[in-house]
Amino acid sequence: LRQKKRRGLPNWPLVGMLPSLVFGIKENIYEWLTEILQGQNGTFTFRGPWFTNLNCVVTSDPRNLEYLLKTNFPNFPKGDYFRGAVSDLLGDGIFGADGDVWRRQRKTASLEFHSAKFRRMTADSLVDLVHARLLPVLEDSIIRAKSAAASSSTIDLQEILLRLTFDNVCTIAFGVDPGCLSSGLPEIPFARAFEDATEATIARFVTPTLVWKAMRFFGIGSEGVLRKSITEVDDFAREVIRARKMELSSGRGPEKIGSDLLTVFMGLSNGEKEGFSEKLLRDVCVNLILPGRDTSSVALSWFFWLLSGNPPVEEKIVEEICGIVREREEGGGGGEFIFRAEEVKKMEYLHAAVSEALRLYPSVPVDHKEVLEDDEFPDGTKLKKGTKVVYAIYAMGRTESIWGEDYREFKPERWLRDGRFMSESAYKFTAFNGGPRLCLGKDFAYYQMKFVAASILYRYRVVVDENHPVVPKMALTMYMKYGLKVVIRRRDPLEIEKYLKLQS
Ligand code: HEM
């Protein structure tokens, strides 16, 4: 009991704090971590069994976050342990890389992410996906519900959104849309292979290094799955790269050349003497798909779930959207309503509501770094070279000293001043990371989430199945463990009419 008070958890001989961790995993690991951090002023040291490498410093203190992610950034790389586990899947790509390899890709990708051509391409591909695929799939569920038994009217919204963002990010990375989101929700071999490869890679983090290395050597268990699925991912990438090379060498005009990341990086290899090898081109694309495929969709799933428990927030969002529709229609609208980029930008309340969902359910609930040289956090915690540092993003969103005593409430208003969205420091709201490794897709992700949410909410009400359990899954991304079962209903035209009139 004395140890629990002093260190946050009892530290047993030989097994360290493992028994408490096992208990935490059985319950809700994120809530468990939050409670310990609250009792320890935001930082504690976890001690694993002596024979494992589980020792780490866990923190949710914004002062430490700023030091870790910005002030002394070079001393906190992702590290060899992380890279060792992910390198078979990610190679030398940006997500697992450190130092010059990371810096070079970051610079090129960053230029691309902020170019007008890229923004146009991402916006166009999203319009196609939402209007030609997402909305028909939702409409289909309504039609099916009318003709079948009531039990078949529920759909898993999380799965549909995961398919949407996978297609979207593949278009951005490779310039190829795999077609996961289409009627009947077909199984796509490349998507399956990517999913299997990711799961098998994550399994390495909970398996002793010697054990997974032996499994890899013999190609058994999850390592056998990994080997097979990486081969499939590589085959897909090789085929796309070969086809793109042919397209580029066929001498098409610059206006015809895509602005997906693969084409951009291939263009660079044309100009530079050494350029990017085929392997690095594959790594560049795979490393974009990994962080970009599920993060926005799980955030949207939590957003819709939070809305279902907070009808006044949904009303305000619909009112805001209708204001935008009205403005356009006064100028002579007509036809199917497709939100334009500048209109999505104006949705300040929706921006606040999405941020609030990410505060409570960050898509990346915990992240980590490694200590390069002995160091010390601003709160006085000593850091030995090689120590792992875990930063608990979920716990930060539930810290009273940052968000006030109503921190458990879903309250978009906390992000607004005079109706305008006010951003928060990245070291308090760390859902998108911060410092030099701030999420590269942040602006795009907001655009994507707002466009999808507005397009759905303008037309439909998303009714969450009350009997369906909604709990987070323990994974690197904050999925809903059992998905999000919902019924889609068309929004009453009178309701929309009411808001359109309200604006006048
Ligand atoms: C709600 C949506 C998203 C959230 C919450 C999010 C969050 C994050 C976080 C926490 C990191 C740091 C990860 C780490 O270093 O361990 C990150 C990195 C990154 N994200 Fe996002 N992300 C989102 C969407 C996207 C999208 C849509 C893309 C691409 C289209 C993207 C591309 C990237 C890339 C390339 C990195 C690596 C940056 C680097 O290491 O320099 N993200 N993101």
Cα-to-centroid distance, 443 and ligand 1 (Å): 10
User: Which one of 73, 439, 449, 476 would you pick to mutate in the ligand 1 pocket, going by the greatest count of ligand atoms within 8 A of its CB?
Assistant: 439
Q: What is the model's pLDDT at position 216?
A: 96
**Residue 376 β-bridge partners:** 382
Cα-to-centroid distance, 95 and ligand 1 (Å): 9
Q: Whose CA is nearest to atom 43 of ligand 1?
A: 439
Q: Give the angle 286-290-296 at the CA atoms, nearest 5°.
A: 140
Cα-to-centroid distance, 450 and ligand 1 (Å): 17
What sign does the CA torsion over 197, 201, 203, 209 have? positive
Kindly give the number of the ligand 1 atom that is closest to the alpha carbon of 293. 27
Tally of CA atoms within 13 A in the half-sphere of 375 that contains its CB: 22
**Residue 18 β-bridge partners:** none
Q: Which of 70, 484, 494 is nearest to 302 (CA)?
A: 484
Residue with tokens 């790594």: 283
Residue type, 170: C
Strand, coil or helix: what is 98? coil
Kindly provide the ipTM of the predicted complex, given to two decimals.
0.98
Q: What is the model's pLDDT at position 148?
A: 61
Q: Whose CA is nearest to atom 27 of ligand 1?
A: 292
Q: What is the mean pLDDT of each run of 10 residues along the chain (504 residues)?
A: 84 90 86 94 91 87 98 96 92 92 91 88 93 95 76 87 95 91 91 92 86 95 95 92 84 65 77 71 90 95 98 97 87 76 96 98 96 97 95 97 96 96 97 97 96 97 94 91 96 86 66
Cα-to-centroid distance, 101 and ligand 1 (Å): 17
What sign does the CA torsion over 145, 148, 149, 155 have? negative
Cα-to-centroid distance, 291 and ligand 1 (Å): 5
Q: What is the model's pLDDT at position 245?
A: 85
Q: Is residue 56 marked as binding?
A: no
User: Which one of 100, 111, 295 would you pick to mutate in the ligand 1 pocket, going by the greatest count of ligand atoms within 8 A of its CB?
Assistant: 295
**Residue 487 β-bridge partners:** 463
Q: What is the model's pLDDT at position 349?
A: 98
Kindly give the number of the ligand 1 atom that is closest to the alpha carbon of 106. 41
For residue 239, count other CB atoms closer than 10 A to its CB: 12
Host H or E run for residue 149: none
Please tell me the distance from the alpha carbon of residue 100 to that of residue 455, in angstroms, as a whole number. 41
Contact 439, 69 (CB under 8 A): no
pTM of the entire structure? 0.93
Q: What is the model's pLDDT at position 112?
A: 85
Ligand 1 binding pocket (C-beta < 6 A) is 94-95, 106, 169, 172, 288, 291-292, 295-296, 299, 363-364, 367, 431-433, 437, 439-441, 444-445
Q: Whose CA is nearest to atom 6 of ligand 1?
A: 432
User: Which residues have CB under 8 Å from 94's CB, separation 6+?
Assistant: 102, 105, 106, 109, 284, 287, 288, 440
Strand, coil or helix: what is 59? strand
Q: Which of 163, 155, 158, 170 is nearest to 133 (CA)?
A: 163
Tally of CA atoms within 13 A in the half-sphere of 239 that contains its CB: 8
Contact 140, 148 (CB under 8 A): no
- Strands 375-376 and 366-370 come out as unpaired
Please tell me the distance from the alpha carbon of residue 6 to that of residue 40, in angstroms, as a whole number. 8
